[in-house]
Amino acid sequence: MIIVLTSEKPVSNEANQINQLFKAGLEILHLRKPTFTIDGYRSLLDQIEAKYHNRIMTHQFPELTQEYGLRGIHLQEQERIDLEDALEVTIQLYKNKGFSVTSSFHSKEDIVGCKADFEYVLLSPVFGSISKAGYEGKGFNVNDLNHTIIGMGGINEATLQKTYDLGFKGVGVLGGVWNTKDPLDSFIKIKEANSQVVKNTN
C-alpha cells in the first residue's frame, strides 16, 4: 500500500497534480493542510475530480467526509490523545457511517498501548525525513506487532525494501514525492519499485 500525504507548503497547480497521481494509480491520499481553513480544504477538493474523493482521508474538518463522500478521517496524535475515553465511540460513529478512521503514532509503545481499532496507523519517522530537516529516523522494527502499520519518514525508491523488511505493511510518502522536480514521475517510480518489493516479500 502506498499513501501520499499532501505537502504543507504551497504547491503550484496542486489539484491537477493530485488528479494525475490518482490517474497513475494512487490508492490513498491524506489531505493535510494545517494552515488551511475549511474553505481552503473545500477549494482544493472542488478541483480534485469527484471520482477520486473516496480515496481521500482528511486530517482536519471531519465534517467534509460526509459533504464530499471522502474515504474517512485521520486523527493526528494529539487529537487522538485528547479524545481520551471518547476515542472508541468516535471511531465507531464514523465506521457506522461507512468511513475509515486512521491515526498517527511516533512510538511502537503507543501503538501497543492504544486499544482503538484503526484501519491502519502511520508510524514515523522510520528514516531521516526528506521534508523536515533534522527529523532523524528511528528505524522502528514492527515485525513483532499484528497491527497494519504504514511506515513514514524518509520513504523513497531507495528505502522501500528496508521498510518492508522492518515489518511495515505499506509506506506513506511526502517529501519523496513533493520535494522532487517531478512529483508524478517520482510517484510512478516509487509505485513500480513498491510493486517489485511487495512481490519479492510475498
Query: Could you read off the pLDDT of 161-184 as tens digits, one per residue?
Result: 999 999 999 999 999 999 999 999
Has residue 192 got a pLDDT over 90? yes
Helix, strand, coil % over all residues of the chain, rounded to 5: 45, 15, 40
| Measured distance CA(173)–CA(32) in Å, rounded | 13
Residue 178 CA to residue 122 CA, distance in Å, equals: 18
Distances from the Cα of 185 to the Cα of 13, 25, 150, angstroms = 16, 12, 22
Give the integer Cα–Cα distance in Å for 89 and 97. Answer: 13
Residue 90 CA from chain centroid, whole number: 20
Q: How confident is the model at residue 133, as a pLDDT?
A: 65
Domains of the chain from N-terminus onward: 2-201 (3.20.20.70)
Q: What pLDDT score does 137 carry?
A: 84
Question: Could you give the CA distance from residue 37 to residue 24 in angstroms, rounded to a whole number?
Answer: 29
pLDDT of 129 > 80? The answer is: no
What is the secondary structure of 9-38 as a DSSP string?
Answer: S--TTHHHHHHHHHHTT--EEEE--TT--H
108 pLDDT more than 70: yes
How far apart, in whole angstroms, are the C-alpha atoms of residue 163 and residue 169?
A: 9
C-alpha cell of 46? 472542488
